[in-house]
């Protein structure tokens, strides 16, 4: 069917759907008065049973750890898919180099180096950003944070090196073999940390280590360990994806500078 017919059909059905959603919204419990028994129970019991103070991280990695394992495998597969689709074939590499280098030389040679202020500011902030990302990852069970958020902060730290114009160091950082190894170790570590629970006769991903005292860094049993694995997996995954997008551009700009 043509585009017009498709759009008019869509607008009619969208209005109908909107009407249904509005009438459903009017029958929901009033905003702010929803009583969820499971949430109330977890808020009351988590600090006493697991000795952690951040209930959301405990729900993610302990009470509903198996759901987080599913989400992390989605992340892993999406990263594999994106890097697989964007890798350069060997035949394509030889062909496009000859075509691109003639005309891209004009473009790549005219890119100026960033100013001194930019370079000082960005290179000076790389260290604090890495420390901040590690802080968010490791203190995830005490304050808001955790493996997912801290992993994303860590993954954006090498970009400051790219912004400073230091392309060689940037390429060395993000194409290092430890990035791929880190992602595999993160997801594999999460999988293996569930096994001690099964070995002692309980359920998979059961919290088997000693709980420690509330408020300390080493509390919560296995929650900090799973946190670290997740942080590693998320950071390495996002760096791999960024490298897959930037690989071709980086090589051309590095060749243009020689």
Which residues, numbered 117-176, are part of the site for another protein (CB under 8 A)? Answer: 136, 142-146, 148-149, 151-153, 155-156, 159
Q: How far is the CB of 120 from another protein (least distance, A)?
A: 22
The encoded tokens of residue 47 equal 């600090």
Taking residue 116's Cβ as centre, other Cβ atoms within 10 Å add up to 8
Is the Cβ of residue 52 or residue 166 nearer to another protein in the bound state? Answer: 52
In the region spanning residues 77 to 96, those forming contacts with another protein, defined by CB under 8 A, are 78-79, 81-82, 85-86, 96
Is the Cβ of residue 34 or residue 177 nearer to another protein in the bound state? Answer: 34
3-state secondary structure of 162: helix
Is the Cβ of residue 157 or residue 221 nearer to another protein in the bound state? Answer: 157
Task: Tell me, rounded to whole angstroms, the distance of Cα 161 from its chain centroid.
Answer: 19
Q: How far is the CB of 204 from another protein (least distance, A)?
A: 18
Q: Let me know if 9 is exposed, middle or buried by CB neighbors in 10 A (0-12, 13-18, 19+).
A: exposed
Helices 177-193, 65-86: inter-axial angle, 10-degree rounding: 160
Report the C-alpha gap between 91 and 94 in whole angstroms.
Answer: 6
In the region spanning residues 197 to 216, those forming contacts with another protein, defined by CB under 8 A, are 215
Is the Cβ of residue 3 or residue 258 nearer to another protein in the bound state? Answer: 3
Is the Cβ of residue 28 or residue 199 nearer to another protein in the bound state? Answer: 28
Q: How far is the CB of 115 from another protein (least distance, A)?
A: 21
Q: How far is the CB of 201 from another protein (least distance, A)?
A: 27
> Do 227 and 140 meet the contact criterion of CB atoms below 8 Å apart?
yes
């Amino acid at each position: 069917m043509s585009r017009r017919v498709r759009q008019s059909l869509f607008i009619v059905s969208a209005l109908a759907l909107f009407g249904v959603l509005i009438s459903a919204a009017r029958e929901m419990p009033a905003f702010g008065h929803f009583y969820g028994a499971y949430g109330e129970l977890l808020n009351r019991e988590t600090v006493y049973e697991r000795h952690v103070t951040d209930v959301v991280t405990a729900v993610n990695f302990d009470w509903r750890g198996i759901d987080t394992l599913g989400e992390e495998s989605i992340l892993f597969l999406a990263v594999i898919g994106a890097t697989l689709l964007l890798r350069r074939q060997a035949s394509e590499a030889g062909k496009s180099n000859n075509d691109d280098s003639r005309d891209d030389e004009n473009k790549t040679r005219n890119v100026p180096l960033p100013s001194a202020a930019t370079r000082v500011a960005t290179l000076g902030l790389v260290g604090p950003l890495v420390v901040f990302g590690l802080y968010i990852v490791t203190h995830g069970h005490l304050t808001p944070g955790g493996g997912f958020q801290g992993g994303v902060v860590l993954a954006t730290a090498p970009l400051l090196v790219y912004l400073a114009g230091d392309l060689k160091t940037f390429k060395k950082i993000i194409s290092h073999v430890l990035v791929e190894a880190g992602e595999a170790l993160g997801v594999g570590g999460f999988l293996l940390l569930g096994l001690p629970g099964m070995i002692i006769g309980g359920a998979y991903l059961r919290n088997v280590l000693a709980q420690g005292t509330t408020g300390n860094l080493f509390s919560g049993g296995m929650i900090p360990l799973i946190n670290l694995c997740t942080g590693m997996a998320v950071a390495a995954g996002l760096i791999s994806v960024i490298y897959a997008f930037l690989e071709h551009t980086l090589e051309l700009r590095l060749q243009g500078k020689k």
